[in-house]
Amino acid sequence: MQAAFLTAALYQFVDLPDFADLRDPLLACCEANGVKGTLLLAREGINGTIAGPEAGVRAVLDHLRADPRLARLPHKESWSGHPPFHRMKVRLKKEIVTLRVPGLDPSKTVGQYVKPQEWNALLADPDVLLIDTRNDYEVAIGTFQGAVNPNIKTFTELPAWLDAQPALQGEGRKPKVAMFCTGGIRCEKSTALMKMRGFDEVYHLEGGILKYLEEVPPEQSTWQGECFVFDERVSVGHGLAPGPHELCRSCRWPLGPEDKASPHYVKGVSCAHCHDQRSPQEKAALAERQRQVELAEQRGAQHVGARMPEREGG
């Protein structure tokens, strides 16, 4: 199928004291141009992913960049043959990626950016502590060789995990720390947090895992597995080719071929991660939703049950 839908992932930390006033004109622009997805607006900036016809997506990007504060708003592009989103939402938030650390300002201080082509050389330094800042379900399907997995369920748990690490405490010389995430935004905050805590040598992967997979050839890569993404593709590999995963519509865990071979996997109803966490009534309701989804697909229509569960990431 021809790749007719352009996806644009974007974020920028910038002071937007009037962010609430930006919502309605932005939503109207998206709807007028057939663009769908989710955009978050906060005092600290903008974050989100949108998709639609190329001309429509570019019209929304032009609308955003017409604001002088967002004139240099960066974005990443990918293409798909199916619409990645089924709705358009512009939400007002306290933070564009939630960490809940008062006084943290990534627009002023962050770690040192490392380009994808230079990332392997940094990781070859035995003195560098490599930390995956993503959530457990993301790390489960892929990460960099040698990365520490904090086993967090949400990004807001990261500060407490850092507090519990002996190697990151004490008054002596602090270790070199390298951090990475999907698209870069979580690392803006996590490296800003490390700088706030007195770490001098803090690095993060510029453009995130997605930029690394796009630019670094597989034969030179230290990435292992797939990268979870927050749209209907669910996962991507090198060259940003769509991966084999799909979401469990009950618990939102990304499921690979082995997961779907489990006797606990029932499409749209349960998987090995959640089969014992749903009551018979809940499973019956999920089964009916899945039946309606399949009937809608047979008619060539979309059903509300087919929507992508929302998660904050990047």
So which residues are the catalytic ones? Answer: 181
Strands (E), the chain: 5-13, 36-42, 45-52, 75-80, 88-92, 112-114, 128-132, 142-144, 176-180, 202-205, 223-225, 227-228, 235-236, 246-247, 254-255
The token pair at 116 is: 């994808």
Of the candidates 222, 141, 138, 151, the one whose C-alpha atom is nearest the C-alpha of residue 183 is 138
Q: What's the CA gap between 191 and 196, in Å, rounded? A: 8
Helix (H, G, I), strand (E, B) or coil at 23: helix
Q: Are 137 and 228 in contact (CB under 8 A)?
A: yes
Identity of the residue numbered 274: C
